[in-house]
């Protein structure tokens, strides 16, 4: 296995539907020291908003990945290193497990070499992603570990993503996913807001993802989370 994310500690998720903080520029965003930028959000994302972010970040060195929330927002840009395609393992119905993916393959001509799989385990019932996908978030640590193993062993997912979007997660449940994986890389996202929270979750996962902090507090706060992740 030799994927770029094997060497990552920190990913910054930019929501194309949200503004940057204060006077922050996309150059600042690309120079936080993060290992990669993932562009996506659950609500009100469009291809046009995606394009604006990709174009603004294109000239800097940081790897850029699109994380589409539906087939209609996927854009074709040479500036993108690839596409991280979610599948929500604990979704309430098949659309977010195989339905959206089937539609995408039906209507689009995929670049398989740049298309990668991300198995989501959605844990915060109040997050838009949980509500949209009607996810069953009532999961024990054993459940989370078992989903992670199924994702890796039975569905060949390259990344497993424990998603607490908007709130800081239960480290025991994150650790259960971590312990279950041999090959796949564990991403953790949710509620990371500074050095300490980044450092703590980085100890229980392979890569931490920071989202809202960028839009709510800006690049200086994000830089602290990069330090926290790198020190773990
Ligand atoms: C097959 C294709 C191309 C797409 C389908 C992909 C799937 C299954 C999407 C469902 C899960 C999803 C909506 C992922 C988007 C990434 C994500 C979870 C972003 C974070 O969203 P929130 O932070 O909860 O939402 P807002 O900030 O928009 O409220
Ligand atoms: O916005 P936050 O809570 O940092 O979550 C990050 C990411 O996991 C969202 O998909
Ligand atoms: Mg968000």
Contact call for residues 75 and 54 (beta carbons, < 8 A)? yes
Pocket lining for ligand 2, CB < 6 angstroms: 13, 163, 165-166, 189-192, 209-213
Q: Is residue 36 part of a domain?
A: yes
Cα of 209 from ligand 2 centre, angstroms: 6
Give the domain CATH number at 206: 3.20.20.390
Q: Which tokens hold the place of 141?
A: 């640590």
In angstroms, the first-to-last Cα distance of the chain is 23
Cα–Cα dist 39/79, whole Å: 12
pLDDT exceeds 70 at position 169: yes
Write down the number of H helices and E strands in the chain.
Answer: 9, 8
Interface confidence, given as ipTM, is 0.96
Cα–Cα dist 158/195, whole Å: 27
Q: What is the pLDDT of residues 132-147, one digit of tens each?
A: 999 999 999 999 999 9
* Average pLDDT estimate for 15-32: 98
- Name residues whose C-beta falls within 8 Å of residue 28's C-beta, 6 or more positions apart in sequence: 219
Contact call for residues 10 and 208 (beta carbons, < 8 A)? yes
Contact call for residues 39 and 10 (beta carbons, < 8 A)? no
Quote the mean pLDDT of the chain.
Answer: 98
Q: Is residue 155 part of a domain?
A: yes
- Ligand 2: which of 16, 84, 162, 191 to mutate, judged by most atoms within 8 Å of the beta carbon? 191
- Ligand 1: which of 69, 109, 118, 151 to mutate, judged by most atoms within 8 Å of the beta carbon? 69
165 C-beta closer than 6 A to ligand 1: yes
Q: Which tokens hold the place of 15?
A: 């929501």
Instruction: Please list all protein residues whose beta carbon sits less than 5 angstroms from ligand 3, which is an ion.
Output: 211
202 alpha carbon, distance to own chain's centre: 14
Bridge partners of residue 66, in order along the sequence = 39, 83
Cα–Cα dist 206/103, whole Å: 31
DSSP three-state, residue 47: helix
128 C-beta closer than 6 A to ligand 1: yes
Ligand number with the minimum distance to the CA of 96: 1
Q: Is residue 80 part of a domain?
A: yes
Distances in whole angstroms, Cα of residue 102 to Cα of each of 8, 67, 71:
30, 17, 10
Q: Is residue 2 part of a domain?
A: no
Sign of CA dihedral 16, 20, 24, 30: negative
157 C-beta closer than 6 A to ligand 1: no
**Which residue's CA is the closest to the ligand 1 atom numbered 19?**
41
Q: Which tokens hold the place of 186?
A: 């564990």
Q: How confident is the model at residue 187 (pLDDT cuts 50, 70, 90)?
A: very high
- Split into its structural domains, the chain has a count of 1
| Per-residue pLDDT, 1 | 55
- Ligand 1: which of 12, 14, 42 to mutate, judged by most atoms within 8 Å of the beta carbon? 42
Task: Give me Rg for the CA atoms of the chain.
Answer: 16
DSSP state of 154: I
List the domain range (segments joined by +) for residue 29.
7-231
Q: Is residue 1 part of a domain?
A: no
Q: What is the pLDDT of residues 87-123, one digit of tens each?
A: 999 999 999 999 999 999 999 999 999 999 999 999 9
pLDDT exceeds 70 at position 9: yes
| Per-residue pLDDT, 226 | 99
**Which residue's CA is the closest to the ligand 2 atom numbered 10?**
165
Q: Is residue 90 part of a domain?
A: yes
Q: What is the pLDDT of residues 39-60, one digit of tens each?
A: 999 999 999 999 999 999 999 9
Q: Is residue 75 part of a domain?
A: yes
Q: What is the pLDDT of residues 60-75, one digit of tens each?
A: 999 999 999 999 999 9
Q: How confident is the model at residue 2 (pLDDT cuts 50, 70, 90)?
A: confident
């Amino acid at each position: 296995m030799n994927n770029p994310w094997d060497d990552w500690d920190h990913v910054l998720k930019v929501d194309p539907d949200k503004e940057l903080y204060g006077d922050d520029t996309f150059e600042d965003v690309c120079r936080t020291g993060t290992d990669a930028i993932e562009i996506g959000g659950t609500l009100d994302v469009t291809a046009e908003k995606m394009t604006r972010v990709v174009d603004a970040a294109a000239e800097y060195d940081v790897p850029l990945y699109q994380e589409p929330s539906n087939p209609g927002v996927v854009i074709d840009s040479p500036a993108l290193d690839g596409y991280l395609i979610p599948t929500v393992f604990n979704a309430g119905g098949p659309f977010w497990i195989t339905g959206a993916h089937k539609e995408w393959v039906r209507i689009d001509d995929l670049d398989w070499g740049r298309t990668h799989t991300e198995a989501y385990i959605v844990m915060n019932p109040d997050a838009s992603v949980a509500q949209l996908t009607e996810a069953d978030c009532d999961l024990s640590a054993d459940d989370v570990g078992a989903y992670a193993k199924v994702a890796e062993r039975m569905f060949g997912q390259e990344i497993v993503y424990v998603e607490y979007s908007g709130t800081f997660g239960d480290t025991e449940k994150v650790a259960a996913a971590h312990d279950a994986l041999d090959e796949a890389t564990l991403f953790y996202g949710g509620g990371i807001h500074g050095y300490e929270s980044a450092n703590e979750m980085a100890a229980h996962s392979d890569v931490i993802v920071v989202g809202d902090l960028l839009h709510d507090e800006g690049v200086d706060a994000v830089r602290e989370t990069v330090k926290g992740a790198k020190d773990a």
